Amino acid sequence: MRQILHVDMDAFFASVEQRDDPSLRGKPLVVGGAARRGVVAAASYEAREFGVRSAMPMAEALRRCRHLVVVPPRGDRYIEVSRKVFDVFHEYTPLVEGLSLDEAFLDVTASRSLFGDGEAIARLIKKGIYDATELTASAGVAPCKFAAKIASDFDKPNGLTVVPSDVAAFLAPLPIERMWGIGPKTAPTLRRLGYQTLGDLAKADPAALERALGSWGPEVRELARGNDPREVVPDREAKSIGAEVTYDVDLTTREAVARTLLAHASRVAERLTMAGLVAGAVVVKLKLHDFTLLTRRMTLPSPASDTRTLHDACLALLDRFPLAGARVRLTGVSAQELGPAEAVQPTLFRDEKQDKRRDVENVLLRAKERFGNKPITFASLLEDKTPRAAPEGDLERLPTRRR
């Protein structure tokens, strides 16, 4: 039988902030933008006691907890800590599939002869992570991905849950909301149809489930029965590096959107360079005023990490969105298919222009490290006619810690 681990850091961004700044420990804290329309990226366990959750609008979070501390995200720091966590994973198996900076599936089936059973390996990994980062993680151990993922969430924080070999029996009593993709929209429908638990879904008539959930129905039934043959597909440590901003005022012109993409591309380039990574693909994401989410993706001719290349790709992608009359409330850029910068294939004809751009990026970065964050940026970022993401006045009024 396979042994799959799902390991998930506890309140990752918030825990990193509390670790780095002792004055934040024990306090209800969220990481996120302080803008009225911003959302919570991560909430500390103290904040969760007030009902504050990640992905919640910041305004709602502040309503629920008046003395909430809002800390701006420090992506580079999280990437740095994430690398240490993934280094620990790789001590136990090469089969590591990262889902995000703080979460991964590991197939440790072949590692057992060296390190003991799945539970023993999970313990070693949790200890290894703590030794390397002073942070806790929760782990689930199971014969398949689906059950491992559910198990890691069972006993958070600092949890370890081992699913017995009878996976279906373990899953049966759990509420249907534990199923991937069954959220606040689908759950009431299913409950009305008489499905309350994963056990009910496991016993369901496949045709009835297909009527209720569409083509996804039969798969849900199989998952609920503990049948999940999906392999752990080893991947790079971070799947993507992105930047995005929700605006207080909708963007209505292509120019305004393009300018935000330049800012994002610059930020992503900086983070790629800092992490020593290059991107093979670029994704642009736009959310419209009615919350429709649109994305367009492009593979780069060769992997890159410089602002100009990323921004050029963004502009090309922007032409592929139906923008006429659109009101855009969020824009984002992410770099995908990440690889180590030094492993860029030396081609016969090196792209000298790109090498030069990468050098410029490195110089900018070193200058920033030396002189602080403010003065050095691409000139066009300075002509900022875009509505500010976070009006300074708001920031002052919010109980925000500024760095």
Please, where are the H alpha helices in 153-253?
A: 167-171, 186-192, 198-203, 206-213, 217-224
Cβ distance to Mg ion smaller for residue 122 or 213: 122
Q: Is 231 left (phi over 0), alpha (psi -120 to 50) or beta?
A: beta
Q: Which of 4, 6, 7, 8 binds Mg ion (CB under 5 A)?
A: 8
Question: Taking the complex as a whole, how short is the minimal distance between the CB of residue 83 and Mg ion, in angstroms?
Answer: 16
Cβ 139 to Mg ion, closest distance in Å? Answer: 12
244 near Mg ion, judged by CB under 5 A: no
Query: Of the residues 17, 103, 237, 244, which is catalytic?
Result: 103
Strand extents, DSSP E, 102-206: 103-107, 137-142, 160-162
Q: Which is nearer to Mg ion, 36 or 83 (CB)?
A: 83
- Residue 80 is a catalytic residue: no
Of 12 and 78, nearer to Mg ion (C-beta) is: 12
Q: Which of 4, 9, 96, 398: binder of Mg ion (CB under 5 A)?
A: 9
CB nearer to Mg ion: give 12 or 195: 12
Confirm or reject binding of residue 338 to Mg ion (CB under 5 A): no
Task: Considering only the stretches 44-52, 63-71, 99-107, 210-218, report the one whose residues sit in contact with Mg ion under the rule CB under 5 A.
Answer: 99-107
Q: Cα separation of 221 and 171, whole Å?
A: 12
- Of residues 128 and 199, the one with the C-beta less far from Mg ion: 128
Region of 94-102, 112-120, 276-284, 345-353 interacting with Mg ion (CB under 5 A): 94-102
Residue 231: DSSP 8-state: P
Whether 52 and 65 have beta carbons less than 8 Å apart is answered as yes
Q: Give least dist CB 59 to Mg ion, A.
A: 24
Q: Binding segment for Mg ion among 4-12, 24-32, 54-62, 262-270 (CB under 5 A)?
A: 4-12
Q: Which H helix or E strand runs over 75?
A: helix 75-92
| 17 belongs to the binding site for Mg ion (CB under 5 A) | no
Shortest spacing between CB 96 and Mg ion, in angstroms = 16
From the list 3-11, 59-67, 144-152, 300-308, the region that binds Mg ion by CB under 5 A is 3-11
Cross-sheet strand order for the sheet of 40-43: 40-43, 29-32, 69-71
Distance separating alpha carbons of residues 159 and 156, to the nearest angstrom: 5
> Contact, 4 vs 148, CB < 8 A?
yes
If you write DSSP's letter for every residue of 308-372 in order, what string do you get? HHHHHHHHHHHTTS--TT--EEEEEEEEEEEEEGGGS---SS--HHHHHHHHHHHHHHHHHHHH-
Residues of this chain that bind Mg ion (CB under 5 A): 8-9, 12, 102
Catalytic residue list: 103
